[in-house]
Amino acid sequence: MSRRTFIAASTVTGAAVVAGPSLLGTGRAAAAEAPGSRVSLTVNGTRHTVTVDNRTSLLDLLREHLGLTGTKKGCDAGACGACTVLVDGRRVNGCLTLAVRLEGAEVTTIEGLAPAGNGPLHPLQQAFVDQDAFQCGYCTPGQIMSGIGCAREGHTGSPEEIREWMSGNICRCGCYVKIVRAIQQAGS
Ligand code: FES
Ligand code: FES
């Protein structure tokens, strides 16, 4: 096989892979062909039973099926923490968690922390406001959910400890100093 023939064959193969079912994709064509499963789970105190493509992430279930867009999609690959939610009280990356694995689970998202429209904010939400711990706000829901998990795990003893245990949550605006202060405030 000549180099030219090899490159041409590789290009065709690559296009077929991209067009086929993708772990990251949510295209209608792929979804229509994909096997689905029913899953029942509780999100912010409300029980939901949905049928989803077996490859659907918890993040996409929340955003695309349940309309809970407070949880953000950053990298969609487990590297930024923007999609952090609590599952049975533990923080997880929603983009790395398959929805079909969550039968019977209790999920808490940013929308579940305080009543919509009125009522007090969760102490960590209030601390983010008090400490001005955000700029664009895109990472903030994930930071807050992760901060709650961090506190529950008992990792808020010092700024250094908070930084270490919050290291999976990236802030492109660089608000780290204030985020740490907010978590300290809520924990004090
Ligand atoms: Fe899940 Fe970045 S969107 S870790
Ligand atoms: Fe903008 Fe964190 S506040 S990414």
pTM, rounded to two decimals:
0.82
| DSSP-derived pairing of the beta strands 90-93 and 84-87 | antiparallel
User: Do residue 70 and residue 27 come from a single domain?
Assistant: no
Regarding whether 48 and 25 lie in a shared domain, the answer is no
Does some domain include residue 118?
A: no
The 10s digit of each residue's pLDDT in 99-115 is 999 999 999 999 999 97
40 shares a domain with 8: no
Number of domains the chain is built from: 3
Same domain, 90 and 56: yes
Regarding whether 106 and 61 lie in a shared domain, the answer is: yes
Ligand 2 centroid to residue 54 C-alpha, Å: 31
Please name the residue whose Cα sits nearest to atom 4 of ligand 1. Answer: 78
pLDDT digits (tens, 9 = 90+) for 30-52: 545 668 999 999 999 999 999 99
Examine residue 18 and state whether it is found in any structural domain, yes or no.
yes
Question: Which CATH number is 167's domain given?
Answer: 1.10.150.120
User: Is residue 100, in this structure, part of any structural domain at all?
Assistant: yes
pLDDT for res 93: 98
Q: pLDDT at position 55, please?
A: 96
Residue 113 contacts residue 123 (beta carbons within 8 Å): no
Report the nearest-CA residue for atom 2 of ligand 2.
Answer: 171
Residue 117 lies in a domain: no
User: Domain range for residue 154?
Assistant: 123-187
Question: Both 47 and 99 in a single domain?
Answer: yes
Q: What is the CATH number of the domain that holds 49?
A: 3.10.20.30
CA of 86 to the centre of ligand 2 (A): 20
**46 lies in the same domain as 100:** yes
Low-confidence ranges of the chain (pLDDT < 50): 1-27, 31
Q: Let me know if residue 93 belongs to a domain.
A: yes
- Protein residues whose CB sits closer than 6 Å to any atom of ligand 1: 73-76, 78-83, 93, 95
pLDDT, residue 58, reads 98
Residues belonging to the chain: 188
The string of DSSP codes covering 84-152 is: EEEETTEEEEGGGSBGGG-TT-EEE-GGGSS-SSSSPPPHHHHHHHHTT--SS-TTHHHHHHHHHHHHH
